């Protein structure tokens, strides 16, 4: 048998039972590799269930720094009897199987083309620890210790992490360290360590941080000055609010009174969540909600109100698989159109498209400036892959000289001085009117907010001219938005090419790798990552500059492509769909394969002539 | 009782309140409702209540849903910010507004369709959540704006203008508010200004969720024989449990009342509710008793009005959330943004 040998470049997958406490052990293992200076990228694969169901934690170790999903497992840590057969089947030939050998299994349960490492975890725990709860938890740390020995992670790295995690609780530190050491020693004593796959100290991580996108978005809301959050629990967005709550407790508690400089309300549903956000935004605070597809569906009417009455609101949409309840614990980018045109009538909305936790932080903070500057709903379009998985990313930064852009808020002084206040008047020609918040001035600046049509001075009106004035102003405002949303980022190919690719969000790490894979094969493609909607003019130019542009996205109906065609008047023929939508994160292999195949096909097809026009 | 703009000339001779405002300063745009619509009388009562309470108009935020009733905030308190939101969702918008600035007075106006049909969920949750607001439902048993369909408060057996009998059981918002934790619950009649104005005053001064169900007949679609929400029917079946008078802490004049017939309730803000008992011995601080009384009288076909329940030690959402005294919308950048040093420390913990 040929055993896989690889240093700092392999995939290890943990098959666990949900609720067994394995999540934090797995995360610690990932962090240990990062501390060894080697980039990793983990992905949680979990069902919509709390206990007793299978979960997987797939960890890609990549010296080259590829953070997308690779696929295949070189080492399977099979700790769930329920999924044993499929887990064992998934191991790459020559790979490794790690399992709890307390209970003997018949040879038919194994494969001859893999290496088997059995450690009697349960038996060792039963011998070493009396308390059943300890037995369960220490078993997790014990396999981390054993794996450390097997793949050559320094035990001291694990010990440091444990000390950090349980700081101040010496007994826990000692207990956990002991468990890790038992596992480590057992592996060293019984197996040839390290295995063919191993970790070697490197310098590939730099100053990057390791955090999930939802936590980053929650933190971004704190830094962005949000004080009101209203929400209704839904996977995969719940942890955005959980993070916001804990960061608020930490950073927004009044030091003198202990009172909260924030208000978080768990609403009765998503209608109420967005209603509260709009009421709060109307009254002059920065407010947001976090939800996923089904919640966005419920919010439609209110989103139209926020758009038409021009009230700032921020909506974090952590996308999951749709339609309907769809695949609630799987990832997709399938709410793009839903959000871009949310609500009845002629509406269009600002979308921000972060690629990783760093951008989740930055864009969430920016979303509040944009919502107030543009007086409109702003959607942060993240997804389960970014939101619920920890990802190595650039550290967060904040410029202390930055002030929140509260937009065009007319002050009591300006009103007093007699400045003309037309709530829906385009005073500056950028489509953005001035607003006042309740209580601004004793007898000037009050107006009646409504979702019905009105004139520039907020008086009810059904006159066609008033309606058109308003709609044209909103159109101008949307043009202004193009210049304010994050600009697209281009990655030119090494050689001039007629081919381009457009993508966004969580496709990013897989795309970076795919471009390298293709370039190695002589396939050169210019890439453009869109980061905001409405699209900046560079996007149109990019399409015009190429004969064929692949649009890579994670949904079935090519929503980004539709949006590009619709908003940019671009030729549909030029835009080729590359779609991945089975609920797993897109991979570099998939992208490179699809694009290379399409380019090959095109070379022999007459379409070439039209492309050369 | 349709309000028509009074000629400017008269304004000067109108009486002024402690702030120097006349009643006119509390009025709004000219009503576009049907002449005789109960809702206009309620608007007039709101104007009167705010005038008498010496409220600064710009310190009030008025919010509503959609319906004839929900249009009315345009017709009172023209110097206040108003928000005509979406159908049945005023409570969430008001909740968000109240979170943003705890120092304003929040007045929500809704209809029976708006609050008992499409919006019953939001109504219920605003009550149980303890939003500090006065919540008035102008209850006419029908959808006025969409031309007379039954609403969820229409009584079983009542007849529509087209002659259709309502077979569904009615929702009593007062009973619901009591059950859900509203801390000031009243019912009144748009045709009884003497009863309604003080009830609104008490609600505006209440610190917590204050709910008033105002029977407010729709002259166009629900004022015929066979309706249980017509002017005649409500007048005939009205059973007031008490009459209240709201006295501000600064000008207590309790001495002029005969002892025994009065019940004195002090609210959080120091305002005093003087309750004159009518006939029976009714205790408005007894929630269970209030619920029982309501159901008993309801079974007899009576419409119980007056201040049905008040909790003197009411708490509101801000108290539950322990928010700072400074309104959230007045916190500055430095109070909101933790700054780069803390962010770098956080980065360090994420490596
Ligand atoms: C989502 C939605 N559905 C339906 C309507 C139509 N609609 C407008 S007002 C109304 C009923 C209002 O009834 P009520 O709240 O009792 O107010 P009233 O007119 O009787 O004062 C309806 C159904 C709407 N505006 N929005
Ligand atoms: S239809 Fe009825 S509720 Fe509407 S304004 Fe006319 S009388 Fe009032
Ligand atoms: Mg009605």
pLDDT tens-digit map of B134-157: 999 999 999 999 999 999 999 999
pLDDT at residue B248 above 80?
Answer: no
A154 and A29 in a common domain = yes
Same-domain pairing of A260 and A371: yes
Helix ranges, B12-116 (H):
38-52, 68-71, 90-100, 112
How high is the pLDDT of residue B266? Answer: 84
Separation of alpha carbons B80 and B74, rounded Å: 10
Alpha helices in A152-225 (DSSP H): 155-165, 170-190, 213-223
Closest CB from A264, A285, A397 relative to B329: A285
Domain B23-321 has CATH 3.30.70.1050: no
d(CA B219, CA B230): 8
CB contact residues (below 8 A), chain A span 260-289, against chain B: 260-265, 267-269, 271-285, 287
**Taking all residues of chain A, what is their mean pLDDT, rounded to a whole number?**
95
DSSP string, A437-474: -TTS-SSSS--EEESS-B-TTS-B---HHHHHHHHHHH
**Whether pLDDT at B6 is above 60:** no
**Best mean pLDDT range from A547-561, B241-255, B262-276:** A547-561
Contacts of A445 (CB under 8 A, 6+ apart): A410, A412, A415, A421, A436
Rounded mean pLDDT of B115-143? 98
Q: Give yes or no for a contact between A503 and A449, defined as CB atoms under 8 angstroms apart.
A: no
- Phi, psi angle pair for A74, to nearest 5°: -85, -35
Chain length of chain A: 613
Listed residue (A9, A30, A26, A8) closest to A17, CA to CA: A26
A267 or B281: which leads in pLDDT: A267
Residue of chain B nearest A206, judged by CA positions: B351
| Residue range A62-88: mean pLDDT, rounded | 96
Total structural domains in chain A? 4
- Residue A155's nearest CA partner among A7, A136, A163, A60 is A163
Across B40-51, average pLDDT: 98
Whether residue A1 contacts residue A113, with contact meaning beta carbons closer than 8 Å, is answered with: yes
Strands of A54-62's sheet in order across? A40-45, A54-62, A9-17, A73-78, A91-100, A115-119
pLDDT tens digits, one per residue of A305-318:
999 999 999 999 99
Q: Given pLDDT bands bounded at 50, 70 and 90, which one contains residue B10?
A: low
- Whether residue A507 is found in the same domain as residue A433: no
Any idea which residue has 């926020």 for tokens? A306
Percentage of chain A with pLDDT > 70? 98
Query: Torsion angle of alpha carbons A42, A44, A45, A46, nearest 10°?
Result: 170
Which residues does ligand 2 sit against, CB inside 6 Å? B 33-34, 37, 39, 68, 140, 144-145, 218-221
In-domain check, residue A401 = no
Residue A333 belongs to a domain with what CATH number?
3.40.50.970
Q: How many residues are recorded in chain B?
A: 351
Domain boundary residue, one of A150, A172, A198 = A198
Among candidate residues A526, A104, A587, A562, the one with its CA nearest the CA of residue A334: A562
pLDDT digits (tens, 9 = 90+) for A399-437: 999 999 999 999 999 999 999 999 999 999 999 999 999
What is the band of A610 on the pLDDT scale with cuts at 50, 70, 90? very low
Strand partners, A527: A491, A501
Give the start-to-end residue ranges of the domains of chain B. Answer: 23-321
Same domain as A53, residue A189: yes
In tens, the pLDDT along A541-583 reads 999 999 999 999 999 999 999 999 999 989 999 999 999 999 9
Please tell me whether residues A238 and A288 are part of one structural domain: yes
| B184: nearest Cα among B246, B134, B247 | B134
Boundaries of domain holding A500: 489-603
Residue whose entry in the numeric block shows the structure tokens 């949307």:
A478
Same structural domain, A430 and A498: no
Shared domain check, A339 and A376:
yes
Q: What is the dihedral of CA B147, B222, B138, B79, to 10 degrees?
A: 60
pLDDT for position B8: 56
Residue ending a domain, among A452, A467, A485, is A485
- Which residue from B145, B152, B229 has its CB within 8 A of the most atoms of ligand 1, so it is best to mutate? B145
Q: How many CB pairs under 8 A join A and B?
A: 223
The pair of structure tokens assigned to B59 is 């310190």
Residue A76 placed within a domain: yes
- Give the predicted TM-score (pTM) of the model: 0.95
Three-class secondary structure of residue A365 per DSSP = helix
Task: Indicate the average pLDDT of chain B.
Answer: 92
**A471-497 average pLDDT score:** 97
CATH of the domain at A554: 3.40.50.920
Which pair of structure tokens corresponds to residue B219?
Answer: 């002259």
Same domain, residue pair A433 and A511: no
At residue A392, does pLDDT exceed 80? yes
Give yes or no for a cis peptide into A323 (omega within 30° of 0).
yes
For A206, A542, B46, B84, the CA distances from B203, given in Å and listed in that order, are: 61, 61, 11, 21
Find out whether A494 and A524 touch, Cβ atoms under 8 Å: yes
Rounded to a whole number, what is the distance in Å from the CA of A460 to chain B's nearest CA?
10
Q: Output phi, psi for A70, to 5 deg.
A: -95, -40
Cα B292 off chain centre by:
22
Angle of CA points B295, B296, B302, to nearest 5°: 90
Q: What is the CATH number of the domain that holds A97?
A: 3.40.920.10
Confidence of residue B261 (pLDDT cuts 50, 70, 90): low
Residue A47 has what pLDDT?
Answer: 79
Strands annotated E in A385-524: 390-393, 448-450, 489-491, 499-503
Across the strands, what pairs with B188?
Answer: B214
| A610 part of a folded domain | no
Residues of chain B in contact with residue A39, where contact means CB-CB under 8 angstroms, are none
Taking a C-beta distance cutoff of 8 angstroms, is the pair A611, A543 a contact? Answer: no
Do both A447 and A480 map to the same domain?
A: yes
Structure tokens at A406: 């509260």
Residue with tokens 């620890």: A129
- CA-based nearest residue to A248, from A268, A228, A267, A230: A228
User: Cα separations (Å) of B174 from A188, B126, B208, B274?
Assistant: 73, 14, 16, 21
Report whether pLDDT(B258) > 80.
Answer: no
Alpha carbon nearest to ligand 2 atom 5, residue = B33
**Which residue does chain B place closest to A230, by CA atoms?**
B96
Same domain, A344 and A234: yes
Asked whether residue A129 falls in the same domain as residue A41, the answer is yes
* Ligand that comes closest to the CA of residue B40: 2
Structure tokens at B116: 């008992």
Asked whether residue A566 is domain-assigned, the answer is yes
pLDDT surpasses 60 at B59 = yes
What's the CA-to-centroid distance between B148 and ligand 2, angstroms? 9
Whether A282 and B93 have beta carbons less than 8 Å apart is answered as yes
Give the model's confidence band at B247: pLDDT under 50 very low, under 70 low, under 90 confident, else very high: confident
Q: Give the Cα separation of A413 and A440 in Å (integer).
A: 9
Q: Are A368 and A417 within one domain?
A: no
Residue A61 has phi, psi (to 5 degrees) of: -105, 125
> Using one digit for the tens of pLDDT, what is the confidence trace for A13-69?
999 998 888 999 999 999 999 999 999 999 999 877 766 789 999 999 999 999 999
């Amino acid at each position: 048998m040929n055993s896989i040998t690889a240093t700092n470049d392999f995939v290890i997958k943990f098959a666990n039972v949900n609720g067994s406490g394995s999540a934090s052990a797995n995360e610690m293992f990932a962090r240990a590799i990062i501390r060894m200076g080697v980039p990793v990228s983990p992905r949680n694969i979990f069902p919509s269930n709390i206990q007793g169901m299978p979960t997987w934690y797939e960890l890609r170790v990549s010296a080259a720094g590829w953070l997308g999903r690779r696929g295949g497992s070189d080492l399977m840590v099979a700790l769930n009897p329920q999924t044993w057969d499929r887990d064992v089947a998934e191991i790459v030939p020559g790979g490794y199987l790690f399992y709890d050998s307390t209970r003997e299994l018949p040879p038919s349960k194994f494969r001859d083309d893999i290496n088997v490492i059995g450690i009697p975890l349960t038996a060792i725990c039963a011998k070493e620890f009396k308390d059943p709860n300890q037995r369960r938890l220490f078993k997790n740390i014990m396999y981390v210790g054993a794996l450390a020995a097997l793949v050559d992670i320094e035990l001291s790295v694990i010990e440091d992490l444990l000390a950090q995690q349980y700081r101040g609780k010496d007994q826990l530190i000692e207990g956990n360290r002991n468990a890790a050491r038992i596992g480590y020693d057992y592996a060293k004593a019984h197996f040839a360590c390290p295995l063919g796959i191993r970790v070697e100290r490197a310098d590939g991580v730099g100053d990057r941080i390791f955090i999930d996108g939802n936590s980053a978005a929650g933190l971004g809301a704190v830094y962005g000055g949000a004080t009101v959050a209203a929400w209704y629990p839904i996977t995969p967005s719940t942890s955005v609010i959980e993070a916001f709550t804990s960061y608020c407790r930490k950073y927004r508690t009044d030091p003198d009174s202990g009172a909260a400089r924030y208000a978080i309300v768990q609403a009765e549903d998503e209608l109420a969540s967005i209603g509260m956000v709009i009421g709060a935004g109307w009254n002059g605070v920065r407010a947001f909600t976090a939800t996923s597809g089904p919640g966005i569906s419920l919010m439609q009417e209110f989103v139209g109100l926020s758009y038409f009455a021009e009230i700032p609101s921020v909506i974090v949409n952590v996308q999951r698989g749709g339609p309907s309840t769809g695949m609630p614990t799987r990832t997709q980018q399938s709410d793009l159109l839903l959000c871009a045109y949310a609500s009845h009538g002629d509406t269009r909305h600002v979308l921000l498209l972060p690629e990783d936790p760093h951008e989740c932080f930055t864009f969430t903070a920016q979303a509040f400036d944009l919502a107030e500057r543009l007086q409109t709903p702003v959607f942060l379009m993240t997804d389960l892959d970014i939101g619920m998985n920890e990802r190595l990313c650039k550290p967060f930064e904040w410029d202390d000289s930055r002030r929140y852009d509260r937009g065009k808020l007319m002050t009591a002084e300006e009103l007093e001085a007699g400045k003309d206040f037309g709530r829906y008047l385009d005073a500056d020609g950028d489509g953005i009117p001035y607003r006042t918040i309740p209580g601004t001035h004793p007898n000037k600046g009050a107006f009646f907010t409504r979702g019905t049509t009105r004139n520039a001075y907020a008086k009810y009106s059904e006159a066609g001219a008033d309606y058109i004035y308003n709609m044209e102003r909103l159109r101008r405002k949307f043009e202004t938005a193009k210049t304010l949303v994050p600009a697209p980022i281009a990655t030119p190919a090494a050689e001039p090419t007629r081919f381009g690719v457009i993508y966004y969000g969580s496709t990013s790490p897989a795309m970076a790798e795919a471009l390298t894979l293709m370039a190695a094969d002589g396939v050169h493609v210019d890439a453009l990552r869109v980061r905001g909607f409405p699209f900046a003019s560079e996007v149109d130019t990019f399409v015009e500059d190429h004969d064929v542009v692949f649009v890579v996205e994670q949904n079935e109906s090519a929503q980004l492509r539709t949006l590009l065609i619709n908003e940019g008047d671009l030729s549909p023929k030029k835009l080729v769909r590359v779609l991945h939508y089975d609920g797993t994160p897109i991979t570099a292999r998939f992208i490179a394969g699809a694009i290379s195949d399409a380019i090959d096909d095109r070379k022999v097809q007459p379409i070439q002539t039209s492309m050369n026009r | 009782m349709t309000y028509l703009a009074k000629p400017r000339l008269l304004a000067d001779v109108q009486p002024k309140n402690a702030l120097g405002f006349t009643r006119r300063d509390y009025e709004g745009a000219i009503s576009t409702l049907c002449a005789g619509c109960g809702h206009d009388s309620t608007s007039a009562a709101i104007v009167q209540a705010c005038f008498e309470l010496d409220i600064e108009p710009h310190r009030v935020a008025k919010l509503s849903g959609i319906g004839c009733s929900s249009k009315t905030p345009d017709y009172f308190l023209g110097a206040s910010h108003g928000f005509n939101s979406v159908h049945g969702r005023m409570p969430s918008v008001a909740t968000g507004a109240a979170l943003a600035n705890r120092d304003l007075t929040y007045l929500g106006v809704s209809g029976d369709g708006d609050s008992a049909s499409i919006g019953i969920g939001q109504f219920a949750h605003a009550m149980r959540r303890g939003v500090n607001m006065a919540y008035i439902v102008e209850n006419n048993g029908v959808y006025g704006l969409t031309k007379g369909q039954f609403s969820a408060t229409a009584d079983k057996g009542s007849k529509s203008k087209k002659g259709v009998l309502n077979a569904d059981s009615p929702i009593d918002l007062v009973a619901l508010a009591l059950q859900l934790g509203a801390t000031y619950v009243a019912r009144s009649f748009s045709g009884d200004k003497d009863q309604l104005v003080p009830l609104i005053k008490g609600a505006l001064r209440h610190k917590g969720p204050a709910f008033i169900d105002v029977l407010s007949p729709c002259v166009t679609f629900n004022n015929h024989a066979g309706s249980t929400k017509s002017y005649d029917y409500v007048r005939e079946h009205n059973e007031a449990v008490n009459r209240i008078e709201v006295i501000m802490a600064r000008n207590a004049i309790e001495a002029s009342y005969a002892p025994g017939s009065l019940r004195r309730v002090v609210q959080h803000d120091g305002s005093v509710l003087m309750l004159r008992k009518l006939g029976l011995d009714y205790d408005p601080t007894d929630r269970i008793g209030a619920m029982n009384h309501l159901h008993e009288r309801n079974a007899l076909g009576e419409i119980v009005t007056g201040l049905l329940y008040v909790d003197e030690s009411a708490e509101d959402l801000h108290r539950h959330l322990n928010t700072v005294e400074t309104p959230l919308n007045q916190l500055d950048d430095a109070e909101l943004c933790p700054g780069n040093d803390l962010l770098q420390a956080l980065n360090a913990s994420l490596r």
